[in-house]
Amino acid sequence: MYKTLLAALTATALSTVAAAAAPAVSAEPLDAATLDTIKAQFGRLMDLANKHDFTALHGMFWQSPSTLLVAKSAIPSEGNWAGFWGNEIIDQKLRDIGSSGPVVLEPDYSKLKVVGLTRDVAESYVPMNITVSYAGQDGRPRPFLMIINWLRVGEDWKVASEIILPVPPAPAAKG
């Protein structure tokens, strides 16, 4: 009995220490007005992309060699989809995609979600249809997901990473 009581007290003490050491669930680090600002920046990004305004798009991105765009690759050695790092490479990739034919991004704004990760970093997620003829794509609207990490730079929010993922077709029903 003494061993059982000692084991129970030890387990209780350890779980109390573990609970105290666990990080507390914190409130959203960004206020509603800031989240709305980022949503507006996302809308501007989509407008500029659909207008193929590459100069203005350049200004939407964080100016760093660490800036990332994940997109379709036209070069087999890079794989089907690849990461493109740094502003020069991203600018060229966006120009290549935009000059391949019609490119139309249609986000489902009702599903746009923006959350603060810290006071200076936010993340957005949105499903969308993209019409594009780049690198063997057939120019028909297809479902994609877009995940963006936003970085506060001075008073502005800039795209630090933009990840565009194709949504695979649903598997055929077994029957």
Going from N- to C-terminal start, the domains of the chain cover: 29-166
For residue range 26-76, what is the model confidence (pLDDT) as tens digits?
A: 688 999 999 999 999 999 999 999 999 999 999 999 999 999 999 878 787
Token pair in block for residue 139: 């120019």
Token pair in block for residue 63: 């100016």
pTM surpassing 0.85?
A: no
170 pLDDT above the threshold of 50: yes
* pLDDT score, position 26: 64
Q: Is 150 within 8 Å of 57 (Cβ atoms)? A: no
For residue range 123-162, what is the model confidence (pLDDT) as tens digits?
A: 999 999 998 766 556 668 899 999 999 999 999 999 999 9
Highest mean pLDDT among 9-18, 42-51, 96-105, 165-174: 42-51
Q: 169 or 146: whose pLDDT is higher?
A: 146
Q: How much is the average pLDDT of 92-118?
A: 92
CATH for the 29-166 domain, from 3.40.50.720, 3.10.450.50, 3.40.50.150, 3.20.20.140: 3.10.450.50
* pLDDT score, position 76: 76
Going from the C-alpha of 99 to that of each of 80, 95, 134, 141, 170, the distances in angstroms are 19, 6, 8, 17, 30
Strand extents, DSSP E, 8-133: 68-72, 81-85, 104-107, 113-116, 121-131
* pLDDT score, position 11: 44
